[in-house]
Structure 1
Amino acid sequence: MSRVAPFATTNGCRMLNSLDLPGRPGDTRVVVAMSGGVDSSVVAGLLKREGYDVVGVTLQLYDHGEATHRKGACCAGQDIHDAREVAAALGIPHYVLDYEERFRHAVIDRFAESYMAGETPIPCVACNQTVKFSDLLDTARSLGAAALATGHYVRSRLVDGRRALFRPVDADRDQSWFLFATTAEQLDFLRFPLGDLTKAETRELAREFGLAVADKHDSQDICFVPQGRYADVIERLKPEAAAPGEIVHVDGRVLGRHDGIIHYTVGQRRGLGISAGEPLFVIRLDAAGARVVVGPREALMTRRLALREVNWIGPGALADLPADGLEVHAKVRSSRPPQPAVLHAAGGVVAVDLLSGEHGVAPGQACVLYDGAGEDARVLGGGFIEATESVFARERAGAPVRDLEQRTVAAG
């Protein structure tokens, strides 16, 4: 049985609906971002059943024609068709908006540039940050909506008069890592009805609503990267990206040549194109020198990160952190639980100490901060990794690979 938020009161008198908005559901318009998958479809179904004035909106983001027959990619042609079918079954109006040009500039071009710089970008974060929670949010307001609802597995609720972001009940579906860049103003307008549900409960609701997408597979690929072959996309967008260079051991030995750093990622072991007497991993990518630096697995261990483009949605201000740092929990991968860490913010530099360390952390990835590790942990914010400090290199050389305190990182 599904768990739906109860009606609540403000100051003990003013009745709010289940979305913490004043007024009856029938007088409250909500735009639902419908991707064509089971999650957002159930959101539309739940809100329709509660009596809200629901409007479905689907974004055409990339390659509508070719994507029609591609499996495992979101925002593709088949997904648009499925969203239309769900809207018709629920009896709600549905609109398809052409956001391809905005998506190309804000997400695809940014992805390509980051990859060429030797980083490991997270385009889904950029998509939420720009197209979905900026452009689509403005569209929802123009349609007279009081809120924009999505199918993300996260929770939000009022804390001291503003909405705060929390991990969901279903830890296996936790998508808070992808939403760290959501601003406080955006959170006030956004709603996440699935945060108290498990995936199994969501699918059961889809069957209850009679939706054809009830057993549809979840999207796996980045929508503009078919079969996960990033290098093919980068070469098509930026032909100059495939510049050859050297494969170099961390001890300085040249071990071979490569056909472009875009073919490698930090932590990669297979397909290096070299033979050695020990297992070697990609330790870092030197875009300026067109070098792939490899070494033993222990050289992948990182304990300190410098962040850029930091978004703080926790209590207080980032500039007011204690001088010795703030104890937090951090995630540098969407699939990992939050780990103990210490956050430092001083002199325009934001750094995170990972108390247990982490293997294979790369610039361009996200580091998301929480006030704990449990299912009810609050998202404090996060940023993109600007630089990492290798424990291995520090121990070998007696000094960090890169002096993080000299990095100029915007504190946001």
Structure 2
Amino acid sequence: MINALRQKEKKIAVIGLGYIGLPVALAFAQQFRVVGFDSNPDRVAMLQRAEDPSRELPADAFIGADILFTADPNELKQAHFFVVAVPTPVDEYKVPNLRPLIRASEVIGVALKPGDYVVYESTVYPGCTEDDCLPILEFCSGLTVGRDFKLGYSPERINPGDKTRTLADILKVVAGNDEEATQTIADVYGAIIREGIYKAPSIQVAEAAKVIENVQRDLNISLMNELAIIFDKMGIDTQEVIKAASTKWNFIPFTPGLVGGHCIGVDPYYLLHKSRQLGYEPQVINSGRRVNDSMPDYIATKLVQMLLQRAKNPSETKVLVMGLTFKENIADIRNSKVADLVRELMAYSINVHIIDPYASPNEVAREYGLSLLDKPADQYDAVVVAVGHDEYKELDADYFKSLMKNAPILLDLKGLYRTNKDDEISYWQL
């Protein structure tokens, strides 16, 4: 397989061209012939113009790429090595939504041929690749894994917004249905990964390794969020506590905050789902999720208390929320907990304005039914800085005072201005 790919006798197909799939497809396209497939024709049209809809990659990332961008599933029939990088979200009840993964498996199954490889990168619970996806591949293709085609899993590890640890600089975990499959998959990814390849002993181990990476981070942040709540009641600066504790070599300096996005705020529910199927109700993972999911309500309640303490009727106030993306310096609004915070504030009849230099107003309206302003107004009763975009880091007290009227309140969720406070502003941070 690897030699045929290198000689461009065979092609790689990447299914799903979002934050994960597009960088993978373009990296492969520098070495091999690639078919980049996405079911969204508007996204494909942008990619054909060398425009990244996610605004993560510059136009020059497309230069020299031997790639065909298409929304036509028939084009996949010319590929022999398939990489699946579709979203794996949860539904409104926090249950894994496998529809994108199932649909991708169906499309590949129709195109699958003897000798082909199928590798999943989408984050799932252990067993999903072999128990949920494989039967679809076999049914749609009429082929049998092991005898006719190979199956693998290689968890995505791309960190959106990170310009230092790019795809090529992050160790890649791979696993196949047998040793031959694992080695071939390692060889293919080895052509684009500088940091090296780790061969997991089984597909389930690779699946589990990916999901616990984010479960661990979720739990660590939930601990800090709970500590922040406790220390706030005690009048102790949480950031100073973390700073002092960090003087010990084995203390890990996680910080409190809103936990959103398509990884940390979602992946634990996949492991919870699988565990419940096995008859075990996880205690620690559940607890971490409850704490992190409750933070928008906690912050909204805190702001309302501060408004009331300053004789401001919440229903007669106007609040500016700065930042809506799930993390700094990216356009990704998926599972944004800032949107939850906005809804909590609106439930108190507060008039909320939102700005964000990265988020797409159309996407925000479509996803959350919220409106973004091009720029802030004035006469706000409070400002909530919810995301640590670089554009916000240089702002000073005079700027915030210019936006607000009497008895101004600043909620600094990222601790950006803790060393530059102003006596005229009522300041609060996590």
**TM-score scaled by length of structure 2:** 0.34
More strand by share: 1
Give the structure with the higher percent helix: 2
Structure ranking higher on relative contact order (CA contacts 8 Å, 6+ apart): 1
